[in-house]
Amino acid sequence: MSKEDVIEIWTDGASKGNPGVGGWGAFLKWKGHTKELWGGNPSCTNNQMELTAPTEALKLLKRPCKVILYTDSQYVQNGITKWIHGWMKKGWKSSTNTPVKNVELWKALYAETQKHNIEWKWVKGHDGIEGNEMADMLANRGAEEAGTKKF
């Protein structure tokens, strides 16, 4: 499979307070095209937004794809590649036998990952990586928009 057949996705979450107003962002690249996604929540945690970003980006894909998904969240990276299998075996209990936090978001992300061939890559945040900087900007846009909405 050539590089052109791979969709690259960078995701990020942001929270102004934890919990507080939050946003998520995703920046997608494929065959020279780009797509920007973002959204927000008036009351959430940073981890909730970090989980929402890849879920929403993967939902956008209409057919099974080869994906390289970049995240600056070790929580997401380790959770989806290492911890989730143990959680599922234990009925969504953590290693300390307590309920997994954000379980509905983890289940939603896991369901989307089953549709695609995904290579997960952790990147250092705020390190000048174009895709990560774009995802960060989009997450902050989502948080800003969520903070100005009247509910």
pLDDT of 2 higher than 60: no
14-50 per-position pLDDT tens digit = 999 889 999 999 999 999 999 999 999 999 999 999 9
Q: Which of 12, 25, 56, 142 is catalytic?
A: 12
Is 142 noted as a catalytic residue in this protein?
no
Is 119 noted as a catalytic residue in this protein?
no
Is 39 noted as a catalytic residue in this protein?
no
Describe the chain by its helix, strand, coil percentages, rounded to 5.
Answer: 40, 30, 25
Is 5 noted as a catalytic residue in this protein?
no
Domains of the chain: 3-148 (3.30.420.10)
User: Starting at the edge strand that comes first in sequence, how are the strands of the sheet with 6-17 ordered?
Assistant: 33-44, 20-30, 6-17, 66-71, 117-122
Q: Which of 22, 23, 136, 142 is catalytic?
A: 136
Q: How much is the pLDDT for 3?
A: 59
Is 127 noted as a catalytic residue in this protein?
no
Q: How much is the pLDDT for 5?
A: 86
Count CB atoms within 10 A of the CB of residue 142: 27
95-151 per-position pLDDT tens digit = 999 999 999 999 999 999 999 999 999 999 889 999 999 999 999 999 999 988 654
- The pTM (predicted TM-score) of the whole model is 0.94
Q: Which of 72, 79, 112, 131 is catalytic?
A: 72
88 touches 28 (CB < 8 A) = no
Q: Which of 13, 22, 40, 142 is catalytic?
A: 13
Q: Which of 25, 50, 56, 142 is catalytic?
A: 50
